[in-house]
Amino acid sequence: MASSESQEVYASQSPCDHAEAKLKEIIDNLFELGITVQDFQAESGSVVQSRINNLVTKLTQLDELKDAIDDTVPLDVFSCIEEGKNPDLLTRDIVDQTAAENQFTRGKMETMQKFQTLLLNKLGQILPEEAEAYRSIHPPKNHPSS
């Protein structure tokens, strides 16, 4: 793809898409460089130099894109990648942990609601006027029990 054509394609992309495309180009460049180095012969020195220069150029272009991207990536994602794990597993773990915490909090809320109902019933047996006054000031709330 000619440079002017690639600039037109990149102009129509979001900064993240542009960075992703640039990363794919860098990966391809590294793959080609690896093949060239693996099959290195004395006369292929200029090809290796050209590929390294191309890689440096693409890395510089990628570095220039960093200011156009507003997205932040949690450091845990980078740690996960460095450990060779799939970042999707981290996402799944966080969702599972959040669901468990949500269930725990919901249980606490339901327990407190039951305690409030029980307390008001006992208060109504011992001090009926005060319980009725409290109920008139604080009508019972209908909480969804789903």
At residue 146 the predicted structure's pLDDT band, cuts being 50, 70 and 90, is very low
Closest CA to 22 of 88, 53, 100, 13: 13
Residue the block writes with tokens 């510089």: 60
* Summary mean pLDDT of the chain: 85
Q: Token pair of 56, please?
A: 């440096």
Distance of CA 115 to the CA centre of its chain: 39
pLDDT of 18 reads: 87
Contact by Cβ (8 Å): 111, 125: no
Q: Looking at residues 114-122, what average pLDDT do you find?
A: 92
Residue 63: CB atoms within 10 Å: 10
Q: What percent of the chain has pLDDT over 70?
A: 88
Instruction: Give per-residue pLDDT as tens, 53-64.
Output: 999 999 999 898
**In angstroms, rounded to a whole number, what is the distance separating the alpha carbons of residues 80 and 83?**
5
pLDDT of 1 reads: 45
Q: Looking at residues 94-118, what average pLDDT do you find?
A: 95
Distance of CA 23 to the CA centre of its chain: 19
Q: Looking at residues 9-22, what average pLDDT do you find?
A: 77
